[in-house]
Structure 1
Amino acid sequence: MSSVIHPVPTAPPGNALVQSVRDSLVVAQRNLIRMSRIPEVILFGLLQPVMFVVLFSYVFGGSMQIGGSTSAADYRNFLIAGVFAQTVTFATAGAGAGIADDMHKGLVDRFRSLPMARGAVLTGRTLADLVQTALTLLVLAVVALLVGWRVGSHGDTNAGKVVAAFALLLLVGYAFTWIGALIGLSVRTPEAATSGGLIWLFPVTFISNAFVDAGNMTPWLRHIAEWNPFSAVVQACRILFGNPGVSQSDAWPMAHPVWASLIYSVVIILVFRTLAVRKYRSAA
């Protein structure tokens, strides 16, 4: 008896984009369901940024000088944008660890055997991480309000600008998850992905204007901080929130932080998504 092998149906070429979007949403839904079944991961992800807000606000609040003021309230309003930006960029480690875990368990190999868009696995994962980042930002904003953060404390703002600031933070967070995706595909274990996703973020976030005024740094370090993409994001959020800013700078990212943040984010997505998808296709 001869067996008949039926070919696996694939989407017509004209529907490739539709199939990619559909597959990405299915993978994103799968990851969100898995996250909801491990609530401790979400809980621990929320605790870290909350601790940063509370500790920096009350431990360093009266010791930092912002714009000539040593007011704890001024520093708190200065600080929050930096903590928001740090929180979304630290999502890199979670994205990398999640993908590395899927690789380690062989789940990615199973996905690769299915008739689905090649980039859907990674896109779905990053979209799920974006949802978790949005939830973390929501909780963090509530905590910030409780400890005394106020929008418009040192400038004009409105609801539209505040929403734009959070949208910009989510865009930056999404961009950084693609860096995490590439790291997760490049290492052998989830533990290595977590370490690899965090070790480079500490100098990026601390050599910036997130927690101190970059104008008080030594000249060579100040130039690095001013051209740091992370600093542009923080500066853009402070402007949109109407919070205390930093000293004036001639560096283009500091003079046009919103545009700089958008450009940085788009470039990061294009570069690291291309590299991650290429790595995924060749991963064993």
Structure 2
Amino acid sequence: MSTTTVKNALTDSSMLVRRSLKHIVRYPSMTIPLLLGPIIFLLLFVYVFGGTLGAGLGNSGGRGEYVNYVTPAILLLAVAGAATATAVAVCTDMTQGIVARFRTMSIFRPALLAGHVVGSMVQTFLCVAVVLGVAGLVGFRPHAGVLGWVGAAGMLALLTLAITWIAVLMGLVSDNVETASNLPMLLMILPFFGSGFVPTDSMPAWLAWIARNQPFSPVMETLRGLLLGTPVGHQAWIAVAWCVGIAAAAFWGATALLNREPGR
């Protein structure tokens, strides 16, 4: 790839990233639901179920301990919830002719997706920061050092990248906005069938197996270890492998769909 090609690719990508960021600023109605959902779940599980569920955690138990236990799962819900806005944005571009218009221009094609990915990651991290602040107000007390916070941020960034590429792929395969808004629901449901809200030891054997062997559980256990000092073991490497594998597969699928000529 020549220097000129690289320069054009960076220019096109930065232009489309700015476009996505402007959409976030101009349409806050797409961001507010992404905040409300995780915050409502946080308050529900802490104040309604926290006393009972916390009693089963051992140690001192109770609502105070459960806040620390459940917050990593809520952060993952914030990441997964952002996929809906990304899928809808991509589908809107595809169905309203914007991408078709871009195809007629001399533009670096992957930049069309890069703009959505980077914009969505910025939006997601803003939502995660707000949710983390609310969690602090209701009693979340991490005792991580600088390296712990850096590791947690890196883990969330890697997961966000994987989820965002899945959302882009969902937007590309959707025929309309309604479909694009419904497909990411699975990503919101999956954390509930993991170790996010109750320990897997309390589940039936078949469900515990599913919970331990799905992508979100190792990520949640890694976040708990980094932020709260619980044992991480090999969970971090499993979490990274899941995120990298999902991101790579979704990236390949999305770019293949984008490069496919219309009508084929």
Q: TM-score, normalised by structure 1?
A: 0.86
Structure 1 gaps of 5+ residues are 1-11, 246-253
Contact 1:178/1:272 (<8 A) preserved: yes
1:99 and 2:90 matched: yes
Task: Give the Cα–Cα distance (whole angstroms) in 2 for the partners of residues 21 and 205 of structure 1.
Answer: 36
**SS of residue matched to 1:117:** coil
Counting only pairs closer than 5 Å after superposition, residues 10-89 of structure 1 correspond to structure 2 as 13-64=2-53, 65-67=56-58, 69-89=60-80
Task: Give the Cα–Cα distance (whole angstroms) in 2 for the partners of residues 244 and 67 of structure 1.
Answer: 14
Q: For this pair of structures, how many residues does the alignment match?
A: 260
1:169 and 2:172 matched: no
Deviation at 1:119, TM superposition (A): 1.0
1:222 and 2:212 matched: no
Task: Give the Cα–Cα distance (whole angstroms) in 2 for the partners of residues 117 and 189 of structure 1.
Answer: 25
Task: Give the Cα–Cα distance (whole angstroms) in 2 for the partners of residues 265 and 15 of structure 1.
Answer: 32
- Paired amino acid for 1:231: S
- Paired amino acid for 2:9: S
- Paired amino acid for 1:108: V
- Paired amino acid for 1:161: G
Contact 1:78/1:244 (<8 A) preserved: no
Contact 2:82/2:120 (<8 A) preserved: yes
1:180 and 2:139 matched: no
Contact 1:185/1:283 (<8 A) preserved: no
Compute the RMSD of aligned alpha carbons: 1.7
Flag the 1:258–1:278 CA change in 2: closer, same or farther, 3 A.
Answer: same
Q: TM-score, normalised by structure 2?
A: 0.92
- Paired amino acid for 1:240: L
Task: Give the Cα–Cα distance (whole angstroms) in 1 for the partners of residues 177 and 155 of structure 2.
Answer: 28
Identical counterparts, % of pairs: 30
Task: Give the Cα–Cα distance (whole angstroms) in 2 for the partners of residues 161 and 81 of structure 1.
Answer: 14
What are the superposed Cα offsets for residues 109-155 of structure 1, whole Å, 9 maximum, x if unpaired? 11222211111111110100000011101111110110010002xxx
1:256 and 2:234 matched: yes
**SS of residue matched to 1:149:** coil
Task: Give the Cα–Cα distance (whole angstroms) in 1 for the partners of residues 197 and 52 of structure 2.
Answer: 12
Q: Counterpart in 2 of 1:108?
A: 99
**SS of residue matched to 2:194:** coil
Deviation at 1:223, TM superposition (A): 1.4
Which of the numbers 246, 249, 253 marks the counterpart of 1:271? 249
Which of the numbers 130, 152, 177 marks the counterpart of 1:190? 177
Flag the 1:48–1:202 CA change in 2: closer, same or farther, 3 A.
Answer: closer
- Paired amino acid for 2:147: G
Contact 2:30/2:85 (<8 A) preserved: no
Flag the 1:263–1:56 CA change in 2: closer, same or farther, 3 A.
Answer: same
Task: Give the Cα–Cα distance (whole angstroms) in 2 for the partners of residues 68 and 218 of structure 1.
Answer: 23
What are the superposed Cα offsets for residues 50-108 of structure 1, whole Å, 9 maximum, x if unpaired? 11111111011001021365411111110000100121122222211110011121111
Deviation at 1:163, TM superposition (A): 2.6
Task: Give the Cα–Cα distance (whole angstroms) in 1 for the partners of residues 190 and 37 of structure 2.
Answer: 18
Contact 1:208/1:230 (<8 A) preserved: yes
Flag the 1:271–1:46 CA change in 2: closer, same or farther, 3 A.
Answer: same
Q: Counterpart in 2 of 1:236?
A: 222
**SS of residue matched to 1:212:** coil
Deviation at 1:19, TM superposition (A): 2.9
Is the radius of gyration larger for structure 1 or structure 2?
1
Deviation at 1:204, TM superposition (A): 1.6
What are the superposed Cα offsets for residues 175-222 of structure 1, whole Å, 9 maximum, x if unpaired? 111111111111111111010111x22442111001111111111211
